[in-house]
Amino acid sequence: MSTLSAIADVKQADSILIHQPGVLFVMNDVPKGMEEEFTRWYHEEHLVERLALPGFLRARRYRSVDGQPNYMVVYDCQTVEVLRSAPYRQRLADPSPWTKKIMPHFLNMERSACRETWSSGMGTGGAAIVAHCKPIHGREEDARRFIREEFGPRLMRNACNVRIALWETDPAVTNVANVERELRPAADMVADWVLFIESTDLGQVALALHSQVMEGEGARTGLLLGSWLRYQLIYENRASGTPCR
């Protein structure tokens, strides 16, 4: 390969990374008796704060249908770099009094700053299945190809599936220390990859997953599929001027 070709490939790869959407993916539980204040804090203050920051586009809250963690929030951002920008870091460094009260009650916390590296379909489903997965080391491109060319298209044949996306955690962005993290009672868990499947019918998606996912396929596909949970959309808000996706 010529030097010029190599430079062109690097520039193309950098361009792809720059234009990939960012996602902040958060899951957690709260103690019984805290749910009402937890919800009010999210809707009246926390999401409003986040959506006022540059690069934050949309926030969605979900409640689990059949497992834990019981709550999930998905923040859509222009890019993952928004999640280590100066305005966001400043917000994390100066939590409000209400945030200082709520954060110590976050249990089973999972927080991952991700790049959305692939998606199929468009729109928002009223429910979602979250499938944790990871590639076999050194087989990342095989795993992406399997998702893009086999797994995703199979699931999208089902009319109830609205959109499927692959979110790959960026550890360098996720693991930046901040004051809010120190308020939580335990260390945050972090996902590897997440398959986010938006749907209009959770039952049909679950059946489709059971029929399409074959145990032990990692050796062929490069992808190790872990646990998956079903969630119902309960709230959505957008930054001012953000168009529907």
Q: Is residue 57 part of a domain?
A: yes
User: Domain containing 74 — which CATH number?
Assistant: 3.30.70.100
Q: Is 2 exposed, middle or buried (0-12, 13-18, 19+ CB in 10 A)?
A: exposed
**What local confidence, expressed as pLDDT, does residue 67 receive?**
87
Residues 132 and 227 sit within 8 Å (Cβ to Cβ): yes
User: What would the pLDDT profile of 109-131 be if each residue is shown by its tens digit?
Assistant: 999 999 999 999 999 999 999 99
Concatenating the DSSP letter of every residue in 144-162 gives HHHIIIIIHHHHHTSTTEE
**What local confidence, expressed as pLDDT, does residue 13 receive?**
41
Q: Is residue 228 part of a domain?
A: yes
Q: Is residue 155 part of a domain?
A: yes
**What local confidence, expressed as pLDDT, does residue 79 receive?**
98
Task: Give φ, ψ of 150 to 5 degrees.
Answer: -125, -65
Q: Is residue 97 part of a domain?
A: yes
- Its sign, for the CA torsion 99, 102, 105, 108, is negative
The label of the residue with tokens 């959309």 reads: 233
Q: Is residue 9 part of a domain?
A: no
**What local confidence, expressed as pLDDT, does residue 217 receive?**
63
**What local confidence, expressed as pLDDT, does residue 54 receive?**
98
Q: Is residue 244 part of a domain?
A: no
Q: Is residue 15 part of a domain?
A: no
Residues of the chain scoring pLDDT < 50: 1-16, 214-216
Number of domains in the chain: 1
Q: Is residue 4 part of a domain?
A: no
Instruction: Tell me how many degrees the CA angle 27-32-37 measures, rounded to the nearest 5.
Output: 75
Domain that holds residue 105: 20-238
**What local confidence, expressed as pLDDT, does residue 17 receive?**
54
- Is the pTM higher than 0.75? The answer reads yes
Tokens of 60: 């969605």
- Best CA proximity match to 112, nearest among 226, 188, 60: 188
**What local confidence, expressed as pLDDT, does residue 12 receive?**
44
**What local confidence, expressed as pLDDT, does residue 216 receive?**
47
Distance from C-alpha of 168 to C-alpha of 95, rounded to nearest angstrom: 27
User: What would the pLDDT profile of 56-84 be if each residue is shown by its tens digit?
Assistant: 999 999 999 988 999 999 999 999 999 99
**What local confidence, expressed as pLDDT, does residue 240 receive?**
83
% the chain with pLDDT above 70: 87
**What local confidence, expressed as pLDDT, does residue 9 receive?**
42
